[in-house]
Amino acid sequence: MGIRFNEVSYDYSSFAEGLYTAIRDINLSITEKHEFIALVGHTGSGKSTLAKHMNALIFPTSGSLEIFGNIITSKRNKNIKYNSIRKKVGLVFQFPEYQLFEETVEKDIMFGPLNFKISVEEAKRLAKEALNLVGLDDSYLKRNPYNLSGGEKKRVSIAGILAMDPEILVLDEPTSGLDPAGKRVLMDLFKDINQKTGKTVVIITHDMDLVYQYFNRVLVMNDSRLIYDGNPDDLFKRDDLAEQHLDYPNTIKVLKHLNEKLNLNMNVYQKTNEDALKEIERAVSV
């Protein structure tokens, strides 16, 4: 079960670039429980395209994709209810402005559940729950989504998908535009959901610090290919990340700089500021 990509490629034609291959020969397996995966890559590497395949918003040009037992190929299959796949795999896009449209936050969060034929009372309950889950209290229910701040809009859009109770959650840059405290609140929330309910969570991000601190599996896209699928710790031990258009987490970069300039021999692989501080103190007192 879960999601399995089998030699999936996706081409599209754009006026600007002609025929363009967004993702190429992707082989990937995501189980439906317990996984906490980061999806990284430079702009244009194909991350978003990959994500849109996961809930059957777009179909592969070649290869096949299995989502909870449904086989998705380039041809539309009349026997598959593609819409129900979108309830199982919830995809949250990056910009809330493309999603929020109702008069109240409550109604907007209810939109998803109602589309999946959940009763109005149940949808209301799910909406309230999802709203609280993203850290907003009940006073937000009757407010107009467009009167909220950027960060609040972001959370409401995430609540809109959480309310659908998907089994796999895919989020495109959920923390971008938030201040550092806000980022941590959301990341802790996703980790919490993952650990308490066992749902698999896939997060697209540019923030290598978050990747290093929160994830145990990272997928790296580069120029339409999946070039790495493994542990972030091992990824960041490599020397060649710049060639893959990737950056290192800040703690590693800073400690590497100190090692080089001051001729120290610190273990640069520290995940938090506190650990890095301890390592510096240790190295200096020697």
Partner 1 sequence: MSYIEIEKLSFSYNEKTDVLRDVNIKIEKGEWIAVLGHNGSGKSTLAKTIVGLLEPKAGQITIDNIVLNEDSAYEVRKKVGIVFQNPDNQFVGVTVRDDIAFGMENLCIPREEMLERIKFYAKKVNMLDFLDKEPANLSGGQKQRVAIAGILAMRSDIIIFDEATSMLDPYAREDLIDYIRTLHKEGLTIIMITHDINEALMADKILVMNKGEVYAFEETQEIMKKQQVFIDSHLELPVSLTLANSLKDDEQYKEVRDQLWEYALTK
Partner 2 sequence: MKSVIIGQYIPGKGIFYQLDPRTKIVSVLFIMIAVFMLQTVTQLLVALGIALIVLFLGRISVMKVIKGLKPIFVLLIFTFVFQILLNKEGEIIVDQEMQLTIFSVIFLIVAFVLWRVAVKFLKYRFILFLLFVATVFTILIFVDFGYSIVDSFNFRVYEQGIRMSVFVVIRLLIIITLSTVLTLTTKPTDLTQGLEKLMHPLKKIGFDSESFALIISISLRYIPTIFDEANKIMLAQASRGADFSEGKLKDKLKQVISLLVPMFIIAFMRSEELANAMESRNFVPGEKRTRINVLVFSYKDILTTVFSIIILASAIMLRVL
Residue 203 as a binder of partner 2 (CB under 8 A): the answer is: no
* CB nearer partner 1, residue 79 or residue 147: 147
Find the part of the chain contacting partner 1 (CB under 8 A) among 29-37, 70-78, 130-138, 257-265: 257-265
CB 1 within 8 Å of CB 85: no
Contact with partner 1 (CB under 8 A) among 103, 122, 138, 179: 179
- Residue 83 binding partner 2, by CB under 8 A: yes
Dihedral sign of CA atoms 94, 99, 102, 106 in order: negative
Decide if 17 is catalytic.
no
Q: Does 277 bind partner 1 (CB under 8 A)?
A: yes
b/e per residue 219-244 (b: at least 16 CB within 10 A): bbbbebbbebeeebeebbeeeebeeb
Task: Please name the amino acid found at residue 178.
Answer: L
CB of 220 to partner 1, least distance (A): 15
Q: Which of 63, 96, 151, 166 binds partner 1 (CB under 8 A)?
A: 151
Identify the three-state secondary structure at position 142.
Answer: coil
Binding partner 1 by CB under 8 A: which of 43, 79, 147, 265? 43
Could you tell me the smallest distance in angstroms from the CB atom of residue 247 to partner 2? 27
Q: Strands, E, within the chain: which ranges?
A: 3-14, 18-30, 36-41, 62-67, 70-72, 89-92, 168-172, 200-204, 217-222, 225-230
Select which of 173, 243, 274, 281 is catalytic: 173
Burial status of residue 61 (CB atoms within 10 A of its CB: 0-12, 13-18, 19 or more): middle
Told to check if 146 binds partner 2 by CB under 8 A, we report yes
Interface residue list for partner 2 (CB under 8 A): 14-16, 52, 55, 57, 83, 86-87, 90-93, 95, 97-102, 111-112, 115-116, 146, 160-161, 164
- So which residues are the catalytic ones? 173
